[in-house]
C-alpha cells in the first residue's frame, strides 16, 4: 500500500508526484541539484481526484519513506490531523481576503516535524480577486519550508499571475473501466452494476460509487433523463424545469443537513456545552459564524447538484448525437439505447439543445436565478 492508492486511473500523475517527492527529500537532505518547488496547481475535472492527489503528495512530502502509506505521519496526513498540513476548503462561493491573509501568516511558520509546512487549498478558484492577490505575494516569495498545493478544475480558473508560478499536476478523467474496477475490488459491487454506474458517472469516482450503492441517487438521475421525453408543450417544459431545480435543491439540502448537524454538535461540544445543552456565555458569536458558513455552503451545494443534473441531461443529448451520427463509441446511457434510437430529428437540433444546456450552466455560474435559467433552457430544448 502507498499514499497513492486512492487515485483511480492516474498513473502519469502518480509517477510525476513520486519523482517530485524524491526531489523534495533530496532538497531537505541538501543533496541533489534542484530545489523544491513551493507552489503546485492540481487540476482536473470534478471527481477525478484533484484533492486526493494533493493530499497524497502532502503525505509523500512529510513521510520519511516518501509516501509509504502506513507510518504515523502518512496516517495523520491522510486522516487530516497532521500539524504541518492545513487543509483549506472554502465553505461558500468565495474565499475572502481577510481569511487569506491569516492563512498566509500561518503558512509562514516553521514546520513542527522539521520537514515542510503544507497548505492544501481546495477549490482555490473560489478566491476573490483581492484574496488571490494576497495569495500571490505568498507564492512569489515563499518561506524556505512552505509548500502550497492549490486545486482547481482547470488552470484557466486561476489568475495568470498565480498560475504561472505553479508547477502543474494535470489529472485526467479516469477511464470508466478503471472506475468500475475500483468499485468491484474495493466496494465489493457486482461487476455489471459497477460498469453501468462508472459509465453513467462519466469518470466521477464518488458519483459512480453513489450511483452503484444509493437507490435515491439512481432515481434522481432517472428523473433527469426523463426530462427530454416530457417536453411536449410549454406547460410541461416549465414543469420539468421546476422539477429539475427542486430535485437538485432537495439533494443539496439532504447532504447539507447531515454535514451541518455533525459540525454543529462538534462545535457546541468544543465550546463547552453543558449536559443540559446550555452554552457558556460569549459563544453565541462563534455559533452564528458557523451557521452563516453552513448556509453559504448549502447554497454552493445546491448549485453543484443542479450542475450535475445538467451534465446528466447533456449526456442524454450527447448519446443521441452518437446514435444520430452513427459514431461507433460507447453510450453513457447504454440502458436507454432503444429509446434513443426511436427519437427522430436532425443532429443539428441535438447540437443546439446541447448548446442550450451549456449556456444554462454558464448562466448559473454567473449567479442567474436558477429557476429562470433552467426554464429558458427547457424552452430551448423543446423547440430544438
CA 361 to chain centre: 16
276 vs 99, 272, 280, 283, CA distance in Å?
A: 34, 11, 12, 16
Q: Which is nearer to Zn ion, 21 or 225 (CB)?
A: 21
Q: Cβ closer to Zn ion: 3 or 237?
A: 3
Q: Residue 68 or residue 279: which is nearer to Zn ion going by CB? A: 68
- Ranked by CB distance to Zn ion, the top (closest) residue is 63
The yes or no reply on residue 321 touching Zn ion (CB under 5 A) is: no
Query: What is the smallest separation between the CB atom of 82 and Zn ion, expressed in angstroms?
Result: 11
Nearer to Zn ion, 68 or 321 (CB): 68
Least distance between Zn ion and beta carbon 79 (Å)? 13
Residues 139-178 that bind Zn ion (CB under 5 A): none
Choice between 58 and 158, CB closer to Zn ion: 58
- Helices 215-226 + 284-325 axis angle, to 10: 50
> Least separation, in Å, of the C-beta of 39 and Zn ion?
23
CB contact at 8 A, 148 and 41: no
Q: Which is nearer to Zn ion, 68 or 271 (CB)?
A: 68
Sheet holding 117-121, edge to edge: 85-88, 117-121, 146-152, 39-43, 167-170
Nearer to Zn ion, 50 or 115 (CB): 115
What gap in Å lies between CA 275 and CA 277, rounded to an integer?
A: 5
Q: How far apart are CA 226 and CA 136, in angstroms?
A: 46
Which region among 55-63, 306-314, 344-352, 359-367 touches Zn ion (by CB under 5 A)?
Answer: 55-63
CB of 60 to Zn ion, least distance (A): 8
CA 280 vs. chain centroid, Å, equals 37
Instruction: Tell me how far, at minimum, the Cβ of 78 lies from Zn ion, in Å.
Output: 9
Nearest distance from residue 77's CB to Zn ion, in Å? 8
User: Quick one: CA dihedral 46, 50, 53, 54, positive or negative?
Assistant: negative
Of residues 56-115, which lie at the interface with Zn ion (CB under 5 A)? 63, 68, 71, 74
* Minimal distance, residue 68 CB to Zn ion, in Å: 4
Burial class (CB in 10 A: 0-12, 13-18, 19+), 26: middle
Residues forming the site for Zn ion (CB under 5 A): 63, 68, 71, 74
Amino acid at each position: 500500500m502507498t499514499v497513492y492508492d486512492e487515485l483511480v486511473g492516474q498513473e502519469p500523475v502518480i509517477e510525476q508526484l513520486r519523482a517530485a517527492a524524491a526531489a523534495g527529500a533530496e532538497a531537505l537532505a541538501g543533496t541533489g541539484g534542484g530545489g523544491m518547488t513551493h507552489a503546485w496547481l492540481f487540476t482536473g475535472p470534478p471527481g477525478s481526484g484533484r484533492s486526493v492527489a494533493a493530499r497524497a503528495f502532502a503525505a509523500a512530502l512529510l513521510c520519511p519513506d516518501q509516501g509509504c502509506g502506513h507510518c504515523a505521519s502518512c496516517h495523520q496526513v491522510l486522516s487530516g490531523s497532521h500539524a504541518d498540513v492545513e487543509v483549506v476548503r472554502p465553505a461558500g462561493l468565495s474565499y475572502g481576503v481577510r481569511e487569506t491573509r491569516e492563512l498566509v501568516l500561518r503558512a509562514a511558520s516553521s514546520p513542527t516535524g522539521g520537514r515542510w509546512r503544507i497548505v492544501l487549498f481546495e477549490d482555490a478558484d473560489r478566491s476573490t480577486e483581492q484574496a488571490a492577490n494576497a495569495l500571490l505575494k505568498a507564492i512569489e516569495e515563499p518561506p524556505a519550508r512552505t509548500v502550497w498545493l492549490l486545486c482547481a478544475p482547470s488552470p484557466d480558473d486561476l489568475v495568470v499571475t498565480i498560475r504561472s508560478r505553479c508547477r502543474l499536476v494535470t489529472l485526467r478523467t479516469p477511464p470508466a473501466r478503471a472506475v468500475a474496477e475500483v468499485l468491484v475490488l474495493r466496494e465489493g459491487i457486482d461487476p455489471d452494476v459497477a460498469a453501468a454506474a462508472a459509465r453513467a458517472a462519466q469518470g466521477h469516482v464518488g458519483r459512480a460509487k453513489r450511483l452503484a450503492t444509493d437507490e435515491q441517487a439512481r432515481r434522481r438521475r432517472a428523473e433527469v433523463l426523463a426530462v427530454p421525453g416530457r417536453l411536449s408543450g410549454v406547460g410541461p417544459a416549465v414543469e420539468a424545469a421546476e422539477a429539475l431545480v427542486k430535485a437538485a435543491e432537495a439533494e443539496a439540502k439532504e447532504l447539507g443537513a447531515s454535514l451541518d448537524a455533525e459540525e454543529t454538535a462538534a462545535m457546541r461540544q468544543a465550546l463547552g456545552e453543558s449536559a443540559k445543552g446550555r452554552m457558556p456565555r460569549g459563544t453565541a458569536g462563534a455559533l452564528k459564524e458557523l451557521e452563516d458558513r453552513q448556509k453559504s455552503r448549502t447554497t454552493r451545494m445546491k448549485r453543484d447538484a443542479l450542475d450535475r443534473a445538467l451534465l446528466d441531461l447533456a449526456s442524454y443529448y450527447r448519446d443521441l448525437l452518437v446514435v444520430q451520427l452513427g459514431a461507433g463509441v460507447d453510450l453513457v446511457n447504454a440502458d436507454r439505447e432503444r429509446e434513443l434510437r426511436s427519437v427522430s430529428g436532425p443532429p443539428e437540433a441535438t447540437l443546439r439543445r446541447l448548446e442550450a444546456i451549456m449556456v444554462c450552466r454558464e448562466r448559473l455560474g454567473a449567479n442567474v436565478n436558477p429557476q429562470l435559467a433552467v426554464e429558458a433552457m427547457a424552452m430551448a430544448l423543446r423547440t430544438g
